[in-house]
């Protein structure tokens, strides 16, 4: 059963990415990338994780509204290509792991820079 759910999740991820790029014309969703999909065991709900290029809270709200508005059309188009009896209800959640990774990367670079400055002072 887990193997089937994984296949369906992968299929939903692929198809939603295509739908988002090809069929959805909402300018609020131009910078959105779907990163993962998790389905419930009975495939009635699919949590779709997405990331954005910006950290602007106002833009984040616009994207959430755009995804909510496009949800019905995305589900309809998904139903035309999915090989399941019932198309899962889509739930969109922001994937913050990309932003978190970027923040950690900045902090590491900052520490490296401080270490380099200390080493330069010691060597002088």
- Which tens digit of pLDDT belongs to each residue from 70-118? 999 999 999 998 878 889 999 999 987 766 777 787 888 888 888 888 8
**Rounded to whole angstroms, how far apart are CA atoms 82 and 103?**
37
Stronger pLDDT, 29 or 124, i.e. the higher one: 29
**Rounded to whole angstroms, how far apart are CA atoms 92 and 75?**
12
**CA-to-CA separations, 116 to 26, 71, 103, 106, 119, in angstroms, rounded:** 46, 50, 20, 15, 5
Q: Which of 55, 62, 56, 32 is nearest to 106 (CA)?
A: 55
């Amino acid at each position: 059963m887990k193997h089937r759910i994984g296949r369906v999740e992968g299929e939903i991820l692929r198809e939603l990415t295509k739908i988002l790029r090809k069929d959805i014309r909402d300018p609020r969703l131009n910078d959105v990338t779907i990163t993962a999909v998790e389905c419930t065991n009975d495939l009635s709900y699919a949590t779709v994780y997405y990331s954005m290029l910006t950290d602007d809270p106002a833009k984040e709200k616009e994207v959430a509204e755009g995804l909510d508005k496009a949800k019905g059309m995305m589900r309809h188009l998904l139903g035309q290509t999915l090989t399941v009896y019932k198309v899962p209800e889509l739930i969109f959640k922001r994937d913050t792991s990309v932003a978190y990774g970027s923040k950690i990367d900045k902090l590491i670079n900052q520490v490296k820079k401080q270490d380099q400055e200390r080493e330069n002072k010691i060597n002088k």
